[in-house]
Amino acid sequence: MILQGEYTRSIMRTQDGKGARILDQRQLPWEVRWVELRDMEAAAIAIREMWTRGAPMVGATAAYGLAMALAEDPSDESLLAARDYLFHTRPTAVNLRWALDEVAKTVGPLPPAERAQAAFARADAICDEDVELCRAIGESGLQLLRDLHARHPDRPINILTHCNAGWLATVDYGTATAPIYLAHDEGIPVHVWVDETRPRNQGALLTAFELRNHGVPHTVIADNAGGLLMMQGKVDAVIVGTDRVTANGDVCNKIGTYLKALAAHDNDVPFYVALPYTTFDADTPSGDAIPIEERAGEELTQATGPAGDGTITTIRLTQSPAANPAFDVTPARLVTAYITEKGVLDRIGD
C-alpha cells in the first residue's frame, strides 16, 4: 500500500483498541478520509453503503463489527444476533460469512467476559493473514508476468483488470493487483487497462487511484472497450479478483467480468482470477446458486463527483427506471487459471 500518511493498511484497529479505522472509499480519489467505526451498527453501515468494499475487506470489517458488538454485550444471544445482522449487510462475497464464522468459532467456547478481547484478536489475525495471503498471491502471479515479459521484452506488458481488487479491497497488496505491484517493483514494464466499472466506477476511481499512487502506468477505459483492445492485440492477459469461487470453479465478480472473459476466450487472451482461500466456497456447487446483489437503481441513473468549485455534486443521467445487478458469474470453462497463495492452479478445490 502506497499512500501518503501514517497508515499502512486499509483497515486497522483504532488507537484505543476498541474500534476499527477504515478509509472512506466514497470520497476517493478526491479526498483521503479515514473514519473510525465505533460500534457494530457503524461497521454494518460502512459495509452496506460501501464506505468500504471488496470481498476480503468486507470480511475484515465485519469481523471487527462482531468484536464491537461483543464488547457491548458478550452473551450467547448477542453473538448469534450480531453475526446474523452483519451477515445480511451484503449477500455475494463469501469472505463475509467466512470472517464472521471465524470470529464466532473462536469466541463461542469462551466465557462471555473473555469474548470481546478474543474477537478483536481474531479480527486482527484475519487482517494479518490477509496481508500474507495477498503477498503470496502476488508471488504466484509474478511468475506469469515474468513469462509475459520474456515473450515481449521490447514493450510493456498490458494487463486488463475490472473493478477494484487492490489494496483498498483487501488489507494490503490486493489480489488481482498484487502480481502487478510486485512486477512493477521488480522493474518489469507493466501497463494496466483499467475498466471504469460502471455503475460505481471502482476502476476509474479506486484502481486508478491505487496505480497512480504506486507509479504503475495505466489507462482508464470504458467498460465496453476491452473487447476491441483484445482483438487488436493490446491485452496480454486479464487479471480480475473475485467475490466467490464455487466448488466447480465458477467465478462471481463485479458485473461485466463475464463479458471480459468471453472476449478474452474469443481472442485467445489468458483470463486469470486471483483469490485467497477465504474466497473459495466449497459449500456452493456452482455459480447459479450464488446470491447476486441487486443494488439501488440510483447508482445507475445518477453520477456524483466534484463540481468546479470542489463541492460534491450529484447529477441525473436519465429519468427512466434502472436495474442494477452488482455481480455476474463467469463459468469455470472461461478461466485460464486461478492465481492463489498456493500457486497458479488450472483447477480449484482439489
Q: Which residues are catalytic?
A: 243
**Is 253 labeled as ligand-binding?**
yes
Please report whether residue 223 would count as binding ligand MRU according to CB under 6 A.
Answer: no
C-beta of 113: minimal distance to ligand MRU in Å? Answer: 35
Q: Which of residues 320-339 bind ligand MRU (CB under 6 A)?
A: 326
* Binding window for ligand MRU (CB under 6 A); candidates: 1-9, 36-44, 50-58, 300-308: 50-58
CA pair distance 157, 203, nearest whole angstrom: 19
| Alpha-carbon span 282 to 212, nearest angstrom | 36
| Degrees to nearest 5, angle at CA 203 with 59 and 295 | 60
CB burial string 206-219: b at 16+ within 10 A, e below: bbbbbbebbebebe
The answer to whether residue 165 forms part of the interface with ligand MRU (CB under 6 A) is yes
The backbone torsions φ and ψ at residue 82, rounded to the nearest 5 degrees and listed phi first, read -70, -40
Q: Does residue 54 bind ligand MRU (CB under 6 A)?
A: yes
How long, in residues, is the chain? 350
Name the residue nearer to ligand MRU (CB basis): 53 or 265.
53
- Strand 157-161 versus strand 337-340 pairing type: unpaired
Is 53 a known ligand-binding residue? yes
**56: contact with ligand MRU by CB under 6 A:** yes
Q: Does 141 bind ligand MRU (CB under 6 A)?
A: no
Check the annotation: does 244 bind a ligand: no
- Determine if 253 is a binding residue for ligand MRU (CB under 6 A): yes
| Nearest by Cα to 34 from 83, 68, 73, 1 | 1
**Least distance (Å) from ligand MRU to the CB of residue 343?**
18
Q: Which is nearer to ligand MRU, 54 or 226 (CB)?
A: 54
Q: Which stretch binds ligand MRU (CB under 6 A): 60-68, 170-178, 217-225, 316-324?
A: 170-178
Ordered strands of the 327-330 beta sheet: 280-281, 244-246, 251-254, 327-330
Radius of gyration of the chain from Cα atoms?
20
Whether residue 78 contacts residue 119, with contact meaning beta carbons closer than 8 Å, is answered with no
Applying CB under 6 A, among 1, 40, 55, 159 the residue interacting with ligand MRU is 55
The site for ligand MRU (CB under 6 A) is made up of: 53-56, 93, 163, 165, 169-170, 174-175, 202, 241-243, 253-254, 326
Which residues are known binding-site members for substrate?
53-55, 90, 202, 253-254
